[in-house]
Structure 1
Amino acid sequence: DLLKDLQQEFGSGIIFITHDLGVIADMADDIMVMYAGGAVERGSVETVLHAPEHPYTWGLLNSMPRLDSDPSIALTPIPGAPPSLLSPPSGCRFHPRCPFQDRVEGNRCVTERPLLGEAESACHLTPAQKRDIFVDEIKPRLG
């Protein structure tokens, strides 16, 4: 509340850095999700939290506890460990941890780094694949 009040009083913007998307859900207008020093997804709070397109964002959302969920059900962690920024992986920096890289044609995840550019997310999955994975596999787990 204090941050919101100060932002309104001074007419300023706030950059809030966190792994907990739930913390910023009520504070932010826009979100940029970063992984290993690079932007992987951006959009409005509504879009990123309710229709995310990047596997890392899906992982963050799946690993968040929910007040309305069964406390006996374990959270789903993101597999693997974050990469070294001194020697990052080739291609997509998330590919060593991504459970969906096998759905990308060829070896693009390993050889070609996707850029955010005009897209909403920096990922080699096609828009249709992103939509289908989110609707069929991710969203049901989020409740």
Structure 2
Amino acid sequence: MVAVSDRGPEGRSVLIVEDDFDVRDALSQLLEFEGYLVAGAANGQEAIDHLRSTPRPAAILLDLMMPVMDGFQFRSELMHDPTLASIPVIIISADASVAEKAARMGATAYLRKPIEVDALLHTLERFCLP
């Protein structure tokens, strides 16, 4: 199920695609506190469905290892959809070796878990309106 916060100005919207509820919830709370409009999806398929039925987010935070549709499949789907391909995708992963794969996938940025708050906020500021 996709949940959307009712707070946050336009242009500061973020879709968090993460199967771990606790991680997704913690990121959502942090970003909502910082003024972002946040939506969450537990896997790539939920995220695709959400993206095709709502306005585009300013950025996507994407975990790679998820059930149903993993982050690699999700990114491939995005790249084949002209209306979604240009959304900045920030890969989040505990696997340090993923940074190179993320670049090959066309990811905009890579953040290693556990995510440093300052690094996350600085990265999102590049893609979201103030």
When the two structures are superposed, what TM-score results if normalisation uses the length of structure 2?
0.32
- Structure with greater proportional strand content: 2
When the two structures are superposed, what TM-score results if normalisation uses the length of structure 1?
0.31
Mark the structure with the bigger radius of gyration: 1
